[in-house]
Structure 1
Amino acid sequence: MQPTPATDAQPAHATPDQALLQHVWALIDEKKNIFCDLSDRIWETPEVNYTEFKSSQAHLQLLKQQGFRVTEGLADLPTAMMGEAGEGGPVIAILGEYDALPGLSQQADIAEPVALQAGANGHGCGHNMLGSAALLAATAVKDYLAANGLPGRVRYYGCPAEEGGSAKGFMVRAGVFADVDVALCWHPGAFNCVMDANSLACNEINYHFHGRAAHASSTPHLGRSALDAVELMNVGINYLREHMPSSARIHYAITDSGGFSPNVVQAHATVRYLVRTRTLPELLSLLKRVDNVAAGAALMTETTMQRHILSGDANLIGNRVLETLMQSHLEQLGGPGFNDADYAYAARFQQTMNQEEIGSAYQRVGLPAKQGEMLCDYVLPLDRPESSMLGSTDVGSVSWVVPTVQARIATYTIGTPGHSWQLVAQGKSSLAHKGLIHAAKLMASTTMDLFTQPELIAQAKAEHASKLAATPFINPIPDDVQPPFPGSH
């Protein structure tokens, strides 16, 4: 059942030091149970963006227990934090997340949709594992630096609200990464690979329309319908789709329809738009066109319009130096080491997925679909065909100010849709635990190579500066925009 490892990509530098790898991996194995328990506890208390109070406290307490110097409320975000260890030398950041998604409550290990609590939250993107593995990696690096008397500072950044809140963009704006030399991150997935730097820049914007109420039957001529303005804006945007770049995406949701009575002309209505493009310059250009459509809808209905940016992400900036380094460490690790029980577990869940979902999983990593493959226990090559299936991440904003590299590590069955009950159900499984431990080993050993080979940091910074020379960073979150805390806007 287990495929042959793929080894097409060759590292451009020396093979990682084996003694260092074994020592770092052993440090992770010593404490892995503590952090698997952390992941399970975060899974059990799923909290959506900017409400991760229990989840952030659990990470905060463990940072303190492990001896980090802790900064709470980072960037004035109540559920953000930073833990630092070490002295002098370079500063390497390992990024963690712990926010969940609304409406995805699901019982663990059950291969059918059974909510723990109807309508409640669930970890449908695996961020319970993401933060736990990042903190485990940072802890192992801290312990290695201390045991060997090496200079260098490792930081764990607890980053809330990746799902729709763009917290890292606010953190970038506050300058919390200003002295960081390199940033590392990972994400749970179906495959083991260094992530390609493909994502979409985006802004999430509320368009508020204000009109005049009136009796819809006796005096309709006195009314100015804000709901009409919302509907006309949506029609205009749907016509715009034909005339925008094919890689761009525009989504919307009516968040305020103005009331429930059809016999009243709606005096207020709001539509929320999410606009995505390949690059920040493309985003700024397309946003102007969306704004023009909104202004036209207001003009046609004699209403007024107010535009309010909620959040935004930059597109990812890749770094070949760091990607090649991380690939060499991933090839040293191999796969997570799934066993027969894991394959049997995965088979139950894959039976709930159709062929389109399974094929889509391969498309996302630029590979042709394989029949009968349930788990990835091998390493994908670094150079793969580019995927056309793109999302957005606030890690993109970090990548514009710090050389950044990310991995995907297998933690669930191939074909599992993102943001699904199936993903939530597998979040406390052996697959999840093996994957998060594997991710921690990858990030920790890659980090230690950077500390012991500072010339790699210099090369990564030079590449980063070269890529930004033609297009300076413009944060998609303007200075006057506040984080979209629950109940705001």
Structure 2
Amino acid sequence: MNNTNHQKFVNNIILEKESTLTKTSEYIWSHPETRFEEYLSSEKLLEVLEAEGFAIEQNLGGIQTAFKGEYGNGKPVIGFLGEFDALSGLSQKPLIDEEQSIDGQINGHGCGHNLLGVGSLGAAIATKAYLKSHNLPGTVIYYGCPGEEGGSGKTFMSREGVFDSLDYAFCWHPSPANAIMSNKSLANFQIYFRFKGISSHAANSPELGRSALDAVELMNVGVNYLREHMPDTNRIHYAVTNTGGISPNVVQANAEVLYLIRAENLKGANELLERVRNIAQGAALMTGTECEIEIDKACSDYSPNRKMEEIMYHYLKEEESEIVYSENELNFAENIWQSLTQAEKDNAQNMLQSFGVISDSNKLDHQRLSRIVNDYVISDKPMMGSTDVADVSWVAPTAQCTCTTEAMGTPLHTWQMVSQGTSTYAFKGMFRAARIMANTALHILKDENLLKSIQKEHKEKLEKHPYKNPIPDHVQPSTL
């Protein structure tokens, strides 16, 4: 595969925009907002897009914090997916190696979305600049995608046809590694089970009551017995969101549990959901209560485009010689490593399978920050998690990479992840991801036959497995 003249151009644009991108990421990190309430974060990203000459459309798909910035005209239409939501309960001071929350702050960027959204923004800016400079046809769209954490924002957006015009799309994710995210992901449904009973005095007339809390507890027990009899790749999680009150002398008339049900594909997720529904109905029968079932959100299984991944891997490998860290960066990463539990250290390489490190994790032995690019390996084994990028991948050919933004062993959704979110090595990984996505996008844009083969692969996939959005039309995005 020959290098093309766009690489130097892209590298120069990203270098030119480093200060703007860094400040934008730092701002989003400092204003952590949870799903579908990312008002300040989306406003900041829109400000940068407008300054860069993108045409803005807000309230995308009817979601207040969803938006897009568009530049150019004609084909191909290239999409870059940006996330920017935080996690509740992960407030953490930056750039320290001990757990310490920020006074007055609850949320934190424990999944690196302050980096993810801005890395994709950098890629969109560089791609747009190249099209403009070389007077090329094509359309570049940056998608501001809210609510990835537990909200499946892109799935809602996909349901509303937001991505239908795309010829191909890119995303990336922060992690301790540099690799192609070649794994498929788990499809899921998030469902409320609300039980309605009859209240009564728990001592004087318990026989008159019908306990909704009993129904929730029986349902949870029943689902726990189900776990032995489902495929190993299935996952069921739950949180009791309403126990019916704090008075033990009252039979609880209302109680609620929220379930997250995962399987390798939507067919499997639907089958598992039906079994969980039956258990809920059984719990209602046992307790003389009624059960109302409401879908909160869902997402499909991620299905990447392999031809796009091959091109992306080429540009990822091109970046390998530039992975250099300072002594201060290595020392901070070492301190983060030492803050991990022994179990987390023992799991450091195993966790990287979810990011596409399949066969050569041993290359990372004794590295606190990855200096290498791991091999590109296609695997049928899914990552044990879910992403709403999945639904974009069924609408348009999609590929993702990951770049090193944190110390080896850093688990997602932890204070260590938050602390490293504004480190200099996190920004190095963010810029690397931006270059890789932009260079891949331009490579495909310049090769009409390659684009045809990418679209042929996508079409053949849909012929075998037709896509249907998993969220019913009446369901709307929910905040925490």
Q: Fold-level match, TM-score > 0.5?
A: yes
Pairing partner for 1:183 from 160, 169, 176 = 169
Deviation at 1:374, TM superposition (A): 0.3
Pairing partner for 2:446 from 438, 452, 456 = 452
Q: Which amino acid aligns with 1:248?
A: N
Note if 1:168 corresponds to 2:154: yes
- Coordinate RMSD, CA, aligned: 1.4
Aligned partners of 1:300 and 1:16: how far apart in 2? Answer: 67
Note if 1:154 corresponds to 2:114: no
Aligned partners of 1:446 and 1:360: how far apart in 2? Answer: 32
Note if 1:403 corresponds to 2:390: no
For 1:71-470, list aligned pairs within 5 A: 71-117=57-103, 120-334=106-320, 336-363=323-350, 364=353, 365-366=357-358, 367-369=360-362, 370-383=364-377, 389-470=383-464
Moved more, 359-368 or 380-389: 380-389
Helix, strand or coil at the partner of 1:187 = strand
Deviation at 1:391, TM superposition (A): 0.6
- Which residue in 1 is equivalent to 2:470? 476
Taking structure 2 as the reference length, what is the TM-score of the superposition? 0.96
CA contact (8 A) 1:95 1:131 kept: yes
Q: Which amino acid aligns with 1:343?
A: L
Aligned partners of 1:360 and 1:84: how far apart in 2? Answer: 41
Count residues in correspondence.
Answer: 472
Moved more, 47-56 or 469-478: 469-478
CA contact (8 A) 1:70 1:84 kept: yes
Aligned partners of 1:53 and 1:196: how far apart in 2? Answer: 32
Moved more, 140-149 or 470-479: 470-479
User: Against the structure 1 CA distance between its residues 146 and 119, is the aligned structure 2 distance closer, same or farther, given a 3 Å change threshold?
Assistant: closer
- Which residue in 1 is equivalent to 2:54? 68
Aligned partners of 1:167 and 1:81: how far apart in 2? Answer: 11
CA contact (8 A) 2:183 2:380 kept: no
Deviation at 1:303, TM superposition (A): 0.6
Aligned partners of 1:371 and 1:287: how far apart in 2? Answer: 41
Q: Which amino acid aligns with 2:392?
A: V
Aligned partners of 1:151 and 1:474: how far apart in 2? Answer: 32
CA contact (8 A) 1:16 1:329 kept: no
Aligned partners of 2:437 and 2:383: how far apart in 1? Answer: 25
Deviation at 1:160, TM superposition (A): 0.3
Aligned partners of 1:193 and 1:54: how far apart in 2? Answer: 31
Moved more, 116-125 or 173-182: 116-125
CA contact (8 A) 1:16 1:449 kept: no
Aligned partners of 1:386 and 1:124: how far apart in 2? Answer: 28
Deviation at 1:385, TM superposition (A): 6.3
Moved more, 409-418 or 365-374: 365-374
User: Against the structure 1 CA distance between its residues 445 and 107, is the aligned structure 2 distance closer, same or farther, given a 3 Å change threshold?
Assistant: same
CA contact (8 A) 1:101 1:419 kept: yes
Aligned partners of 1:371 and 1:224: how far apart in 2? Answer: 58
CA contact (8 A) 1:100 1:122 kept: yes
Aligned partners of 2:270 and 2:100: how far apart in 1? Answer: 42
Helix, strand or coil at the partner of 1:361 = coil
- Which residue in 2 is equivalent to 1:51? 37
Helix, strand or coil at the partner of 2:284 = helix
Q: Which amino acid aligns with 1:16?
A: N
Q: Which amino acid aligns with 1:405?
A: A
Helix, strand or coil at the partner of 1:164 = helix
Deviation at 1:345, TM superposition (A): 1.7
1:49-68 superposed Cα distances (whole Å, 9 cap, x missing partner):
01100000000111111100
User: Against the structure 1 CA distance between its residues 34 and 368, is the aligned structure 2 distance closer, same or farther, given a 3 Å change threshold?
Assistant: closer
Deviation at 1:354, TM superposition (A): 3.2
Aligned partners of 1:105 and 1:419: how far apart in 2? Answer: 11
For 1:29-40, list aligned pairs within 5 A: 29-40=15-26
Deviation at 1:157, TM superposition (A): 0.2
Deviation at 1:361, TM superposition (A): 3.2
Moved more, 333-342 or 26-35: 333-342
1:331-357 superposed Cα distances (whole Å, 9 cap, x missing partner):
111154323222112111111113432
Deviation at 1:317, TM superposition (A): 0.7
Helix, strand or coil at the partner of 1:405 = strand
Deviation at 1:485, TM superposition (A): 3.1
Moved more, 20-29 or 248-257: 20-29
Deviation at 1:468, TM superposition (A): 2.1
1:378-429 superposed Cα distances (whole Å, 9 cap, x missing partner):
1111016666651100001111111110010000100111100001001111
CA contact (8 A) 2:185 2:382 kept: no
Deviation at 1:82, TM superposition (A): 0.5
1:74-124 superposed Cα distances (whole Å, 9 cap, x missing partner):
001100100111121210000000000001111111100010136610000
Helix, strand or coil at the partner of 1:138 = helix
CA contact (8 A) 1:411 1:435 kept: yes
CA contact (8 A) 1:203 1:312 kept: yes
Aligned partners of 1:148 and 1:337: how far apart in 2? Answer: 32
CA contact (8 A) 1:336 1:438 kept: no
Helix, strand or coil at the partner of 2:247 = coil
Helix, strand or coil at the partner of 2:421 = coil
User: Against the structure 1 CA distance between its residues 87 and 326, is the aligned structure 2 distance closer, same or farther, given a 3 Å change threshold?
Assistant: same
User: Against the structure 1 CA distance between its residues 403 and 361, is the aligned structure 2 distance closer, same or farther, given a 3 Å change threshold?
Assistant: farther
User: Against the structure 1 CA distance between its residues 443 and 389, is the aligned structure 2 distance closer, same or farther, given a 3 Å change threshold?
Assistant: closer
CA contact (8 A) 2:361 2:374 kept: no
